[in-house]
Amino acid sequence: MTHPSPAVQLNNLLQEKKELDKISWIYEDTGPQNDKTWHATVKYKGEVVGYAEAKNKIPAKEDAARQALAYLRKVKARPAPTKAKLAARERKKALKAKKSVYENEKIPLTDAINILRAVEVAKPNATYELVIKTEMRRGSTVPKGRFNLPREVKAKTKERVLVFAEGRQAEEAKRAGADFVGGTELIEGVANGRYPASVFLCTPSLIRAITPKLGRVLGPRGLMPSERRGTVTEDIVGYLRRISGSSEWRGDKAGTIRSAVAKMHFPVEDVVRNVRHFLNIVKIATGNAADKSDRQPKSGPKPGQVNPIKRVVLSSTQGPGIQISDA
């Protein structure tokens, strides 16, 4: 009699616990096309409970599922909530249900800006936040990209970049402003946390050398160099130029994108310009608008993939969320 695989056992366990919706999988491949390494990460309630890598996707998944099973079997079942806790939970839901008067009303952008300025009249340093809700279809990738606003909201924090490169490419990376540059001698330091980098780049010739030791370290943090993200590249200098002075935006797994777009003391024209600029960048990255520039962004959607924009909301620190009608 054959026993079910770890992945099937994990699925059965979650069905029993009625928690199938609490688990999520992330798959990523690194390395050259003819010698890929697969990375499988399994999350339970947003926490990583299993990670594995292998030359094929299935073994990586099964190993990660085995780790997740071991974790879940150690977790004690939570006691049933008392009547008092259930009542408190209902009260909290009722409070959240008290929506803004603008919940179902759409307003032109300039009118929304003026309403929020009136609400924040005593706080000229309050921040406008733009929330863009996109639809995540099956197989969709989480939308993300980089941007510069026409008028910046706050001073930029410099990205610390580590580059795995040798020879001429290493020299070029140093001149282009990379913080840490080297070959395989950097692997141990990265694994030990000696290099506080927020961006990792690698040349194709070195990716096979760093993947076995760093896939488990950088993979769960979303920092492992990969061709899909454009961080395994021969054009290290070009990549460094593109990210220089720019900020990253990223949606969550539900497809919601949030970003500060202006300060309350900005003139209305500047707020409108910033909102339109950021919205256009998101539309291009999600396939809702064509990129008119010559450069095709690496962070854009797969060919033919569109994440439709369902709602655009402008809010402020203390103000309501207002749907924009002319987004």
Instruction: Report if residue 224 sits inside a domain.
Output: yes
Q: Are residues 121 and 267 in the same domain?
A: yes
Tell me the range of 28-32, 194-198, 270-274 where mean pLDDT is highest.
270-274
Q: Are residues 269 and 319 in the same domain?
A: yes
Residue 43: strand pairing partners: 24, 48
Q: Are residues 127 and 275 in the same domain?
A: yes
Among candidate residues 203, 221, 243, the one where a domain is terminated = 243
Mean of the pLDDT values across residues 81-97?
78
Which two structure tokens, joined as six digits, stand for 102?
């603008």
Q: Are residues 23 and 70 in the same domain?
A: yes
pLDDT at residue 294, as a whole number: 46
Q: How many domains does the chain have?
A: 3
Long-range contacts of 51-55 (CB under 8 A, 24+ apart): 51/216, 51/219, 51/220, 53/211, 53/212, 53/215, 53/216, 53/219
Among candidate residues 181, 215, 243, the one where a domain is terminated = 243
Q: Are residues 119 and 193 in the same domain?
A: no
Contact 321, 102 (CB under 8 A): yes
Instruction: Report if residue 270 sits inside a domain.
Output: yes
Instruction: Report if residue 216 sits inside a domain.
Output: yes
Q: Could you tell me the CATH number of the domain that includes residue 270?
A: 3.30.190.20
Mean of the pLDDT values across residues 95-107?
66
pLDDT tens digits along 212-226: 989 888 988 888 998
Instruction: Report if residue 81 sits inside a domain.
Output: no
pLDDT at residue 245, as a whole number: 67
Least confident of 112-116, 186-190, 250-254: 250-254
Q: How confident is the model at residue 277 (pLDDT cuts 50, 70, 90)?
A: very high
Contact 257, 247 (CB under 8 A): no
Q: Are residues 36 and 174 in the same domain?
A: no
* Domain containing residue 205: 161-243
pLDDT at residue 90, as a whole number: 83
User: First vs last Cα of the chain: how many Å apart?
Assistant: 60
Q: Are residues 150 and 255 in the same domain?
A: yes
For the chain, give the percent of residues with pLDDT over 70. Answer: 89
Q: How confident is the model at residue 128 (pLDDT cuts 50, 70, 90)?
A: very high
Q: Are residues 140 and 197 in the same domain?
A: no
